C-alpha cells in the first residue's frame, strides 16, 4: 500500500436519520440486538453492508449454527433461547432447518438453508418494526467528545450519509465502530496470529445412498490421498455434512494464509483480496478430491459465498475479557446475560483444535458477563458478537452464533434500559436487565433451570 495521502475536502454529510438505537452489522448479534431494542419500544435502525442478514452464516456460507446447545453432564440441551428461538422457528416454518447433529461425539450443531435464514431474518425484523438499511458500509464516526459518539458515517450508493442515535451497538464482527470511536482493542493473540479464515462452499448432485455417512470416512481418505501424493490439503479436520436436502452438502475444508504462513488478516484489504482468490482455488482442489469419494462422483459446486469466512480480527477491551479458562472451567458471573456452550475451537496452522470442558463431569457451559459488552472509554456504545471483550482463547469459543445471539439480545435490551433511565449502558441496573431477559425467554444461567430438549 502506498504511503502517499490525498486530502479530502471538507463537505456537508446528509443525515439519513436519527434513531434511539443504531446497530452496525446484521449477523446473529445484530439481529438479536435490533429485535430486542425495537421490541422494547425503541426506534431502531440496523445497518448492514450486504443486501441480506445473517452475517458469516449467510455471507460466508457457514450454513450451520454452532453454540446453541451445551453438553450438560452428558445430556444435550439447547441453552440459547429468546430471540434465537423465534428466528429458528421461522427458518423451520420455511422448511430450512435441519435437526441438530452431533459434532465430535460431544456437542450438537444445527444446519440451515441460507435462503430460508435470509427470509426468516427479514420477517423477524419486519415483525418487530426494525428499520433496515442494506448496502451501507460503515465508514467512520463523528464524536461529540472523546467519550460519546454523535453520528456513524455510512457509505451507500447515494454517497456518504450520517446516522445519529442515542446509543450505538457494534455488531460488525470486526469492532469497526468501537475502533473508530477510540475504544481500546486487541487483534488476534497480540503476537501476529489470528484464527485462520476459511472459504466455505456447497455441493449438489450427491447420491445420498452411496455417500452414506461420508463425513466419517472422508478424513481417512484424505490421509490416504496425502500419503499417495495425489492431493494436498491446507488443513486437517475437514467438515463435510449434508444439508436439509440430502443431495446437497456443505464443505468446510480450506484454510487461508499469507505467504509467510500466518493467517489472512481480515482488516487488511490486500489480505482479503488474496484470501478470496486463494480460497476459491482451494475450494476447487477440495472439490476435485471429493469427486473421488463414493456418492460424490457426479457432484458439482452449487455455491461459493460472497465472502471469505473470517473468524477473528479485533476484540474490543471491555469491563471483563472472557478467557479460555472461563470456557473450560464453565465460569459463572453475577452479571451473566447469557451462556456459551461451544468449546474452544482454535483454527491454527494446518489444523483445528477443539478443547472441551470436562464431559460429563461439568455442566458444559460458561456464563457471559454483561461487562464484556461494555467497551472502555465510550459512554453510548455497546459491543456484541465476535468483537466483544474476550481474550484470543475465549473468543475461539464464544465467537460462534449461539453466544452472539445471547450477547446481541442483552445489548439491545441494555440500550433500551439505558435510554429509559437517562444513563450510560455501563450504569444500568444489571439485575433489571437480567429479569427482562428471562421474561423474554432467554436463558442466562445463574439460578435458572437448564432448558429441556434441543
Give tens-digit pLDDT for 348-390. 999 999 999 999 999 999 999 999 999 999 999 999 999 999 9
- Identify the band that residue 55 occupies on the pLDDT scale cut at 50, 70 and 90: very high
pLDDT confidence of residue 191: 82
User: For residue 9, what is the DSSP state?
Assistant: P
190: pLDDT confidence band, cut at 50, 70 and 90? confident
Quote the pTM value. 0.97
Task: Say which DSSP state 373 is in.
Answer: G
Q: Which of 42, 60, 44, 43 is nearest to 52 (CA)?
A: 60
Grid coordinates belonging to 350: 494446518
- Report, as an integer, the average pLDDT of 164-189: 97
Distance, in Å, from the CA atom of 231 to the CA atom of 42, rounded to the nearest integer, reads 55
Q: How far apart are CA 53 and CA 56, in angstroms?
A: 9
Percent of the chain with pLDDT over 90: 96
Residue-wise pLDDT tens digits, 6-32: 999 999 999 999 999 999 999 999 999
Q: Is the pLDDT of residue 1 over 70?
A: no
Residue 412 CA to residue 36 CA, distance in Å, equals 5
Render the burial of 273-311: b for 16+ CB within 10 Å, e for the rest. ebbbebbbebbebbbebbeebebbeebebeebbebbbbb
Nearest to 215 by CA among 253, 195, 233, 241: 241
- Is the pLDDT reported for residue 2 higher than 80? no
Predicted local confidence at residue 236, as pLDDT: 87
What does the alpha-carbon distance between residue 189 and residue 400 come to, in Å, rounded to a whole number? 18
Q: Is residue 375 a contact partner of residue 317, using CB atoms and an 8 Å limit? A: yes
| pLDDT tier, 238 (very low <50, low <70, confident <90, very high otherwise) | confident
For residues 239 and 251, is the Cβ–Cβ distance under 8 A? yes
Average pLDDT, integer, range 256-271: 96
Of all residues in the chain, what percent carry a pLDDT higher than 70? Answer: 100
The helix (H) or strand (E) run that includes residue 278 is helix 269-290
pLDDT-derived band at 193 (thresholds 50, 70, 90) equals: confident
Residue 220 has pLDDT above 80, yes or no: yes
Reduced to 3 states, what is the DSSP secondary structure of residue 437? Answer: helix
Instruction: Round to whole Å and give the CA distance between 337 and 446.
Output: 9
Cell of 114: 441460507
pLDDT for res 192: 79
Q: Round to whole Å and give the CA distance between 424 and 377.
A: 11
What mean pLDDT comes out for the span 92-101? 96
Average pLDDT over residues 35-61: 98
For residue 152, give every residue at least 6 positions away whose Cβ sits within 8 Å of its Cβ, in sequence order, or none. Answer: 22, 24, 47, 138, 140, 141, 162, 163, 165, 168, 177
Nearest 5 degrees, angle CA 380-CA 382-CA 383? 150
Lowest mean pLDDT among 129-133, 327-331, 335-339, 446-450: 446-450
| pLDDT tens-place string over residues 392-446 | 999 999 999 999 999 999 999 999 999 999 999 999 999 999 999 999 999 999 9
Amino acid at each position: 500500500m502506498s504511503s502517499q495521502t490525498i486530502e479530502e475536502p471538507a463537505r456537508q454529510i446528509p443525515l439519513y436519520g436519527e434513531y434511539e438505537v443504531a446497530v452496525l452489522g446484521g449477523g446473529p448479534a445484530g439481529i438479536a440486538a435490533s429485535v430486542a431494542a425495537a421490541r422494547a419500544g425503541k426506534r431502531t435502525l440496523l445497518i448492514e453492508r450486504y443486501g441480506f442478514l445473517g452475517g458469516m452464516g449467510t455471507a460466508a456460507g457457514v450454513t450451520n449454527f454452532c453454540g446453541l446447545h451445551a453438553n450438560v453432564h452428558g445430556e444435550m440441551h439447547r441453552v440459547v433461547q429468546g430471540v434465537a428461538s423465534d428466528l429458528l422457528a421461522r427458518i423451520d416454518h420455511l422448511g430450512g432447518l435441519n435437526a441438530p447433529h452431533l459434532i465430535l461425539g460431544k456437542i450438537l450443531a444445527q444446519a440451515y438453508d441460507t435462503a430460508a435464514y435470509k427470509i426468516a431474518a427479514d420477517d423477524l425484523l419486519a415483525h418487530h418494526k426494525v428499520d433496515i438499511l442494506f448496502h451501507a458500509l460503515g465508514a467512520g464516526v463523528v464524536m461529540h467528545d472523546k467519550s460519546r459518539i454523535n453520528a456513524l458515517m455510512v457509505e451507500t450508493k447515494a454517497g456518504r450519509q450520517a446516522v445519529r442515535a442515542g446509543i450505538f451497538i457494534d455488531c460488525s464482527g470486526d469492532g469497526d465502530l468501537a475502533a473508530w470511536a477510540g475504544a481500546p482493542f486487541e487483534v488476534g493473540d497480540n503476537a501476529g496470529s489470528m484464527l485462520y479464515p476459511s472459504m466455505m462452499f456447497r455441493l449438489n448432485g450427491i447420491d445420498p445412498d452411496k455417500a452414506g455417512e461420508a463425513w466419517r470416512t472422508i478424513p481417512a481418505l484424505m490421509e490416504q490421498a496425502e500419503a499417495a501424493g495425489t492431493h494436498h490439503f491446507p488443513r486437517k479436520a475437514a467438515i463435510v455434512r449434508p444439508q436439509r436436502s440430502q443431495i446437497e452438502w456443505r464443505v468446510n475444508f480450506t484454510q487461508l494464509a499469507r505467504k509467510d504462513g500466518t493467517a489472512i488478516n481480515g482488516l487488511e484489504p490486500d489480505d482479503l483480496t488474496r484470501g478470496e482468490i486463494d480460497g476459491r482455488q482451494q475450494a476447487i482442489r477440495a472439490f476435485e478430491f471429493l469427486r473421488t469419494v463414493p456418492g460424490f462422483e457426479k457432484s458439482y459446486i452449487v455455491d461459493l459465498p460472497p465472502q471469505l469466512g473470517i473468524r477473528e480480527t479485533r476484540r474490543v477491551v471491555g469491563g471483563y475479557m472472557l478467557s479460555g479458562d472461563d470456557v473450560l472451567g464453565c465460569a459463572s458471573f453475577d452479571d451473566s446475560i447469557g451462556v456459551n456452550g461451544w468449546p474452544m475451537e482454535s483454527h491454527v496452522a494446518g489444523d483445528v483444535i477443539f478443547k472441551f470442558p470436562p464431559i460429563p463431569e461439568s455442566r458444559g457451559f460458561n456464563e457471559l458477563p454483561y461487562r464484556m459488552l461494555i467497551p472502555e472509554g465510550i459512554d453510548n456504545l455497546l459491543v456484541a458478537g465476535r468483537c466483544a471483550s474476550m481474550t484470543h482463547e475465549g473468543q475461539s469459543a464464544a465467537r460462534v452464533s449461539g453466544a452472539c445471539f445471547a450477547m446481541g439480545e442483552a445489548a439491545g435490551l441494555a440500550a433500551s434500559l439505558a435510554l429509559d433511565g437517562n444513563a450510560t449502558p455501563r450504569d444500568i441496573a444489571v439485575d433489571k436487565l437480567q429479569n427482562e431477559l428471562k421474561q423474554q425467554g432467554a436463558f442466562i444461567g445463574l439460578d435458572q433451570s437448564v432448558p429441556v430438549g434441543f
